[in-house]
Amino acid sequence: MATNSTGDLSDSRFLTIAEVAAMMRVSKMTVYRLVHNEELPALRVGRSFRVREEDVDEYLRKSFYSAG
């Protein structure tokens, strides 16, 4: 199981797919695609997914590029 830098998942903030979509300003289907393609790590809780806020930040940091 992956852990954050302190080694404790209890310190992590978990977001729903809808919260991630709102944060990234994309559709929920885009977030589901990222999760299913393993581009964005997620935990399955019952029938839904939760994504660590740190993982969203890291994905955005890796995806950012200068357009100018």
- Specify whether the CB–CB gap between 54 and 60 falls below 8 A: no
Q: For the domain 12-63, what is the CATH code?
A: 1.10.10
- Give the CA-trace dihedral at 52, 56, 59, 65, to 10 degrees: -160
Give the residue extent of every domain in the chain.
12-63
Give the residues of the chain that fall short of pLDDT 70.
1-9, 66, 68
Percent composition of the chain: helix, strand, coil (DSSP 3-state, to 5): 45, 15, 40
Quote the pLDDT of residue 10: 75
CA distance 11 to 16: 16
pLDDT at site 26: 97
